[in-house]
A and B are shown apart, each in its own frame.
Chain A
Amino acid sequence: MKEKILNILNGLRPEYDFRESANFIDEGMLDSLDVVNLVTDLEDAYGILIDGVDILPNNFSSVDSIINLLIKNGAKA
């Protein structure tokens, strides 16, 4: 799951190394426009719909937080 998410993040913003970052939002690697695109990419990749109240920057700040978000919304680990 981790690799798949990293691939999606890389596709979105190839200029950053997401493996090296502690917080994608604080480090400016993903902005609000990227988050909207990321939600769509994740939903397509996992065949799920992410709950609206979960679309908060903190839930996209690391691969682990994205995994938690996906599992909470029905993705299979």
Chain B
Amino acid sequence: MKKVTSIEQLQQCIASVRNYRKGFITNFFPDPFRHSLWIEKEELSFGETGESLFLLRENSFFYSLFYVSTTLEALKSDLAFFLVKHQGDILVADVVGNQDNVAARQVFLDLGFQQYASLTRMSRINNSPATVYEKNPRIVNGSVADAGIIYELLNQYFDPLAEQIPLLEELEDFAKKNQLIVYKENGEIGGFIIYELQGKTSYLRYWLVHPEFRGKGIGSALFNELLSRSADVRRLILWVMDTNHNAINMYLHFGAEYEMMFNYVLIKRAI
């Protein structure tokens, strides 16, 4: 494996797989800001095997594995070869897509991966002008300084294997863009929502109410603030763990629906 040194190099490697002109399957979806951070921190490596490109992103105690390949058959043989050299590593791969393109999941299962979790995408379509809810004075924009505390909370309450915890730099960027909504009581953060706004679409990335602050309607107040900020948004998208029934019920309550888009988290433990 070699370190990826630039986004351009990454694009070139991906293009070279496409240019076999036999097909294209991947679980790597370009995110220039995030991936530039990985490259800058020397966390991203690549290796080309057969008709496939494999990318490994180094996390605290495991590697996220991404593939770019021509066909399922090529992925199967190339991945088998790749795994021989990575037996000592914990590998986590996300297979993402609609019903038609999650067949790669079986390739991973056949090669010794186990399904660790699954997530579903839900979306809420905004058909009428958004309701502007009454402002809660304790709900404010998170500062760059708050980003550090939120980073710790994310690491404490979210599952790094399944929920792709952002880097501190990403959180600071959310704060700078006022996309970090926090609930503060006596200077203490009781909950937050992190979202991204892109034109007519907003993405709810993370939503947490600290256990000590639960049962006070803070989660709803945060979500209402997000809706108030999304007046021009047509679609709100989010991913949720299939086992998180409380969250799913909450999203359904707020008008979200299932999108038939899936994310299977597959893990291979070190031998």
Which residues of chain B (13-29) have a CB below 8 Å from chain A? Answer: 14-19, 21, 24, 26, 29
Q: Is A52 a contact of B29 with CB atoms below 8 Å?
A: no
Interface status of A55 (Cβ within 8 A of chain B): yes
Interface status of A32 (Cβ within 8 A of chain B): yes
Partner of A55 from B15, B197, B200 at Cβ < 8 Å:
B15
A40-B24 CB under 8 A given contacts A28-B199, A31-B201, A51-B19: yes
- Contact sample, A vs B, 25 pairs, CB 8 Å cutoff: A15-B125, A15-B235, A26-B198, A27-B199, A27-B201, A28-B201, A28-B202, A28-B235, A29-B199, A29-B201, A29-B234, A31-B201, A32-B30, A32-B31, A33-B29, A40-B24, A40-B101, A49-B21, A51-B15, A51-B18, A52-B15, A52-B18, A52-B24, A53-B18, A53-B19
**CB-CB contacts of A10-52 with B at 8 A, as 1s and 0s?**
0000011000000100111101110011011000000001111
Separation of A31 and B121 alpha carbons in the complex (Å)? 14
Partner of A29 from B12, B16, B24, B200 at Cβ < 8 Å:
B200
Contacts of B14 in A (CB 8 A): 52, 55
Q: Which of under 10, 10 to 19, 20 to 34, or 35 or more describes the interface residues of B?
A: 20 to 34
Q: Give me 9 other A-B pairs in contact (C-beta within 8 A), A15-B125, A52-B24 excluded.
A: A16-B200, A26-B198, A28-B201, A31-B201, A32-B30, A32-B31, A33-B29, A53-B12, A53-B15
Contacts of B160 in A (CB 8 A): none
Binding site secondary structure of chain A: loop
Q: Is A28 a contact of B15 with CB atoms below 8 Å?
A: no
A28-B200 CB under 8 A given contacts A52-B18, A55-B18: yes
Separation of A50 and B18 alpha carbons in the complex (Å)? 8
Separation of A27 and B197 alpha carbons in the complex (Å)? 9
Separation of A37 and B14 alpha carbons in the complex (Å)? 16
Separation of A39 and B68 alpha carbons in the complex (Å)? 14
Q: How many whole Å from B231's CB to the nearest CB in chain A?
A: 14
Interface status of B96 (Cβ within 8 A of chain A): yes
**CB-CB contacts of B192-223 with A at 8 A, as 1s and 0s?**
00000111111000000000000000000000
Interface status of B148 (Cβ within 8 A of chain A): no
Interface status of B47 (Cβ within 8 A of chain A): no
Q: Which of A27, A28, A29, A56 has the most CB of B within 10 A?
A: A28
Contacts of A32 in B (CB 8 A): 29-31
Separation of A37 and B27 alpha carbons in the complex (Å)? 12
Contacts of A51 in B (CB 8 A): 15, 18-19
Contacts of B199 in A (CB 8 A): 23, 26-29
Closest to A32 in B: B29
Q: How many whole Å from B86's CB to the nearest CB in chain A?
A: 25
Separation of A48 and B33 alpha carbons in the complex (Å)? 31
Q: How many whole Å from A67's CB to the nearest CB in chain B?
A: 20
